[in-house]
Structure 1
């Protein structure tokens, strides 16, 4: 199950299960109160029967002075347990106080409580299963829609590659006839389309080969050369030590391309992008607008501005996980963002 499917599943599960849990709790509480009342009323009628013959050891008896505040034939919770008051045979100023021992009542109540807990557990389990079934059922339309969307994207990816490649090839042929600024701009635009195509290719990088020796310094230099032409007002500061890693070249290229492109795209006017290589770390720092929520930035389709598609950082995160690269982001609004890649 994919991350967005998990999120949707658990959200639906909670939204369905919690109201059912609250409703069932109210019903069980009302049932508990009614049952306790039934138990006490049953004991009360047994007390009344006891006053006719005083047989048995279930109750104890006491005679007290008549008190108008005490109602006859009613259960009271007294310190001895359950008590009820009855009129004596004579018309004297006395009442019969019948007592049901506290320990006996606790035993009856605890037996009932055990039964209701067992019943509650069964109800809770059934409600949980019902909630899971509902959550799974609710995912079905979303899965179907996403399946259609992914197939649509695959078709777009396939169709996008052909014109981008054709533009690049024809621009190179045009260069042989003459070198114009317009041709260079066409090439840069075609490369931007090709970069988007590569991003779409890596939307679900489940497993890729990691058996290539890659020069990180070389990849960064190539990216800076291209980005400098696309963003001529951005100042690039490089402090690069040689770093060779064994990984996947296309995957590393996608990670660095997305991070450096974002550093330029969301930078301020006449801003700077600093790229450093320290031991096994690559540090990319910009003077841009910053990121409001660094925890959400890796979520697919999450955007804080209208620019972009919201898939670049999601692809970066997925590739980092597949290639065992740790990525850390620090950001401050209107001051800039720092991204650190730690290679294994």
Structure 2
């Protein structure tokens, strides 16, 4: 299950489960209050029966002064436990106080609470099971739509590669007949389409073998050569050691391509891109417009302006995770962005 499917599933379960749990809690609370009253009323009737013959040791007795505040045949919570007052069949100003011991009442009360707790756990699990079932059922149309969209995207990616490759091949053949500026523009545009194709091809990357010796400087030089033609006003500054990484060349090519392209695309006029290596780090720093929300930059389809598709940095993050590359971003609006790739 993909991340966005997990988030949708968890959100739907929560939206269904929480209101049901709140409603069930209210119902159980009302049932508890009502049941406690029934227990106390049942004890009260037993007290009344006890006053007829005074048999048994369930209750204790006391004689108290009669006053207007003491109502007959009513349960009171007193220090001794539960108490009730009954009329003595005499003419004296006294009442019979029947007492249900506090420890006995607490035992009955705790037994009832345990039953309520067990019942609450059963109800909670039932509601959770119901919520999961409802969420999975409600997400089925969305999953089907996403599956169709992914199939369509795969077909589109496959069809996109053929014309891009054809344009590149034909532009190279045209170069043999003469080196024109128009041919170079066509070739650069075709390479841009090819780069987009490679990004779309890796939109759902799987495990990759890290068995190739990759020269970072070689990859960076190749990208700078193309980007310098696309962005002639951008100045590239390099301070690189010949760092060889054991990794996957195609995946690293995608990572560096996206990062350098963004450094140029979102740079200022006559801006700079500084590329350096330090121990096991590749550092790319630009003088561009900066990133407003660094935390969201790796989210798929997240864009801070109208340009691009919002998938480049998402692919970069996924590839970095697969290749065990730690990526960090520091950005200041209107000053620039610094990205560090740490190779393990």
Per the alignment, in what secondary structure is the counterpart of residue 341 of structure 1? strand
Structure 1 counterpart of 2:130: 130
Structure 2 counterpart of 1:307: 307
1:12 aligns with 2:12: yes
Structure 2 counterpart of 1:148: 148
1:287 aligns with 2:287: yes
- After superposition, the CA RMSD in angstroms is 1.1
Per the alignment, in what secondary structure is the counterpart of residue 69 of structure 1? coil
Per the alignment, in what secondary structure is the counterpart of residue 275 of structure 1? strand
Inter-partner Cα distance in structure 1 for 2:91 and 2:337: 94
TM-superposed CA distance for 1:284, in Å, is: 0.7
Structure 2 counterpart of 1:193: 193
Structure 2 counterpart of 1:253: 253
Structure 2 counterpart of 1:36: 36
Give the ranges of 4+ consecutive aligned residues of structure 1 lying more than 6 Å apart after TM superposition: none
1:166 aligns with 2:151: no
Inter-partner Cα distance in structure 2 for 1:296 and 1:31: 47
Q: How far does the alpha carbon of each residue in 1:95-148 deviate from its partner, in whole angstroms, 9 at most, with x for none? A: 111111100000100111111111111111111111111122122111111111
Note the residue ranges of structure 1 that are not aligned, 5 or more in a row.
Answer: none
TM-superposed CA distance for 1:297, in Å, is: 1.5
Q: How far does the alpha carbon of each residue in 1:268-299 deviate from its partner, in whole angstroms, 9 at most, with x for none? A: 22222111111211001112222222222112
TM-superposed CA distance for 1:91, in Å, is: 2.6
Structure 1 counterpart of 2:267: 267
Inter-partner Cα distance in structure 2 for 1:270 and 1:12: 49
1:85 aligns with 2:85: yes
Per the alignment, in what secondary structure is the counterpart of residue 60 of structure 1? strand
Q: How far does the alpha carbon of each residue in 1:21-53 deviate from its partner, in whole angstroms, 9 at most, with x for none? A: 111111110110011000000001111111111
In the superposition, the TM-score normalised over structure 1's length comes to 0.97
Note the residue ranges of structure 2 that are not aligned, 5 or more in a row.
Answer: none
Inter-partner Cα distance in structure 2 for 1:76 and 1:341: 73
